[in-house]
């Protein structure tokens, strides 16, 4: 597990040992999507690995204009791994993006932003390493259909695990073992139909260097999760990209389709990306204070207070889709209430059990996997650093009661702040509150990002009628 190569010499040796034919260079856009270009192995020189390779930045959403399209991919050979899905031996290398016009790492490259966030942490003299441990949930479906037209819009997803298939006529009979709505947590086979599929995912993840800990069926029908070991901020974000690639490809090659969409099913639990975090300095966990609540230090609570203080702006990056906020509605283990607890998972931040110094951390439960992991982790870190530098903001908690049972009136009565309820609310929060990000996220990036969200998601979503609106409005 871990790295396969540490430098350029080892890279070429590894390619030779594995008879590599192709080198696949990958980078991430602001949506979190991977892009790639593939070179023949013999065409990849040491000079190219050192100085980078050109590509057209104007063809990537929300990046460069056509008159300044030339950009450079800077390979990070330490990220190299063999692609487990290609017919010919192919090695993948993750890249940063370099701006030739400004002579610096590209300000809209998520991986570069994440690196700058770590640099800022060190310069602030708060810590020298930040550990992040994301937990990405996913659905596996057997069939997905959707349409979006001027006079018609619908979606239809199907999984044999779905309770709606209880009376479906299958060629070999209906076996009837299904988890049911909210009934999918930890059942054995045959109710858990994805045991072998997850096992294949887990084994392939290990092949490409991820350290896999566990896998299990999640609460919803057709939902799963695989746990991998935490890493440093950039490493953890790289691992999310690898994780999502493997999950989608294994499902695809088995005649199924996987999605990390936060809320693909109405009335059942959604997909989150719970993010465990801690800051260390000189080998010591700065979040650890034995004897305090959850063994959390003031530094940890100050860090958390920064995330809560800037929750709207942070959510614009950690929950960047209109669908994200359908998951955060109360009632489906939605961590939408801005408090913390070591006793339950209903708070926006959970304090996981762990009495020893290495195990103490916070777990923000509201993010989801539509987020670009580099941007999400960097935004969480920057908000946390702001909280520490300001000596902490007012924070509600700890609260160990079942927050899911609180009514909206009770939440208001207790004056507990909540996560934003829509992407519009989150992005408007980002527009109004972004100074805490600016040491790392530039003004140009923030402007581009908020325009992108309005033009590609918020306005198109708000302008479309839905089937439910026909139910409630058509006969008025």
When pLDDT is cut at 50, 70 and 90, the band that residue 354 belongs to is confident
Phi-psi region of 387 (alpha: psi -120 to 50; beta: other; left: phi over 0): alpha
Active site residue 178: no
DSSP H helices in 165-232: 195-207
330 pLDDT above the threshold of 80: no
**Is 17 considered catalytic here?**
no
* Catalytic status, residue 21: no
- Band (396; pLDDT cuts 50, 70, 90): confident
How high is the pLDDT of residue 346?
Answer: 76
Which domains, and CATH codes, for the chain?
Answer: 8-106 (3.10.20.70), 129-473 (3.30.590.10)
Q: How far is residue 451 CA from its own chain's centroid?
A: 21
The chain-wide mean pLDDT, for the chain, equals: 95
Does residue 332 have a pLDDT over 70? no
Reported confidence tier of residue 26, pLDDT bands at 50, 70, 90: very high
Average pLDDT over residues 361-371: 97
Residue 136 pLDDT grade (very low, low, confident, very high; cuts 50, 70, 90):
very high
Contact at 8 Å (CB) between 285 and 294? Answer: no
Please say if 443 is a catalytic residue: no
d(CA 447, CA 188): 49
**83, 99, 107, 137: which one is catalytic?**
137
Q: Is the pLDDT of residue 108 over 80?
A: yes
**Confidence band, pLDDT 50/70/90 cuts, at residue 331:** low
Structure letter (DSSP) for residue 6 = S
Which two structure tokens, joined as six digits, stand for 92?
């993948």
State the pLDDT confidence band at 439, using cuts at 50, 70 and 90. very high
Q: Residue 363 belongs to what H/E stretch?
A: strand 362-364
| For the chain, percent of residues with pLDDT exceeding 70 | 98
Calculate Rg over the CA atoms of the chain: 23
Tell me the pLDDT tens digit for each residue of 288-313: 999 999 999 999 999 999 999 999 99
Whether the pLDDT of residue 410 is over 80: the answer is: no
Mean pLDDT of 422-430: 98
pLDDT bin (cut points 50, 70, 90) of residue 400 is: confident
- The pTM of the whole model exceeds 0.85: yes
Residue 411 has pLDDT above 80, yes or no: no
**Per annotation, catalytic residue among 135, 161, 192, 386:** 135
Known catalytic residue at 56 = yes
Does the annotation count 345 as an active-site position?
Answer: yes
- Whether residue 375 contacts residue 452, with contact meaning beta carbons closer than 8 Å, is answered with no
* Catalytic residue chosen out of the listed positions 363, 368, 386, 428: 363
The single residue of 26, 111, 198, 274 carrying the catalytic annotation is 274
Catalytic, 137? Answer yes
* pLDDT tens digits along 205-215: 999 999 999 99
Per-residue confidence (pLDDT) for residue 334, from 0 to 100: 75
Task: Write the pLDDT tens digit of every residue in 226-259.
Answer: 999 999 999 999 999 999 999 999 999 999 999 9
Tell me: pLDDT of 370 over 90. Answer: yes
Mean pLDDT of 133-158: 97
pLDDT at 401: 75
SS3 34: strand
- Of these residues, 225, 368, 386, 428, which one is catalytic? 225
């Amino acid at each position: 597990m871990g790295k396969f190569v540490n430098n350029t010499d080892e890279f070429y040796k590894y390619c030779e040992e594995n008879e590599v034919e192709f080198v696949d260079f990958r980078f991430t856009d602001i949506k979190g999507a991977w892009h790639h270009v593939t070179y023949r192995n013999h065409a990849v020189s040491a000079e190219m690995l050192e100085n980078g390779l050109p590509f057209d930045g104007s063809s990537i959403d929300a990046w460069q204009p056509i008159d300044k399209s030339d950009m450079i991919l800077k390979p990070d050979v330490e990220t190299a791994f063999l692609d487990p899905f290609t017919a010919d031996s192919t090695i993948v290398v993750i890249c940063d993006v370099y701006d030739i016009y400004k002579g610096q790492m590209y300000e809209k490259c998520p991986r570069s932003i994440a690196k700058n966030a770590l640099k800022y942490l060190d310069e602030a003299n708060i810590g020298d390493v930040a550990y992040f441990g994301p937990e990405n949930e996913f659905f596996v479906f057997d069939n997905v259909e959707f349409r979006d037209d001027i006079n018609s819009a619908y979606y239809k997803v199907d999984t044999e695990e779905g309770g709606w298939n209880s009376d479906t006529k299958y060629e070999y009979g209906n076996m009837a073992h299904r988890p049911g709505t909210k009934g999918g947590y930890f059942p054995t086979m045959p109710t858990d139909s994805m045991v072998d599929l997850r096992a294949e995912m887990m084994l392939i993840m290990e092949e490409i260097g991820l350290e896999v800990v566990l896998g299990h069926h999640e609460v919803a029908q057709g939902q799963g999760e695989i746990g991998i070991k935490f890493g440093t901020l950039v490493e953890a974000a790289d691992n999310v990209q690898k994780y999502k690639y493997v999950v989608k490809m294994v499902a695809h090659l088995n005649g199924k389709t996987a999605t990390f969409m936060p809320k693909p099913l109405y009335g059942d639990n959604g997909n989150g990306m719970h993010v465990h975090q801690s800051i260390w300095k000189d080998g010591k966990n700065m979040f650890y204070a034995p004897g305090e609540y959850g063994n959390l230090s003031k530094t940890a609570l100050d860090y958390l207070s920064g995330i809560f203080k800037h929750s709207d702006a942070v959510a614009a990056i950690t929950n960047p889709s209109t669908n994200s906020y359908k998951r955060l509605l109360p009632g489906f283990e939605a961590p939408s209430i801005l408090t913390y607890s070591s006793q339950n998972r209903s708070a926006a931040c959970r304090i996981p059990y762990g009495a020893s110094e290495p195990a103490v951390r916070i777990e923000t439960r509201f993010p989801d996997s539509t987020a670009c992991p580099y941007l999400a982790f960097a935004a969480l870190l920057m908000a946390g650093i702001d909280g520490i530098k300001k000596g902490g903001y007012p924070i509600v908690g700890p609260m160990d009661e079942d927050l899911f049972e609180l009514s909206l009136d009770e939440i208001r009565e207790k004056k507990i702040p909540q996560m934003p309820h829509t992407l519009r609310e989150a992005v408007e929060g980002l527009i109004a509150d972004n100074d805490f990000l600016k040491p790392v996220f530039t003004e140009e990036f923030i402007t581009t990002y908020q325009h992108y969200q309005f033009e590609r998601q918020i306005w198109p979503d708000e302008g479309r009628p839905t089937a439910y609106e026909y139910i409630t409005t058509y006969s008025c």
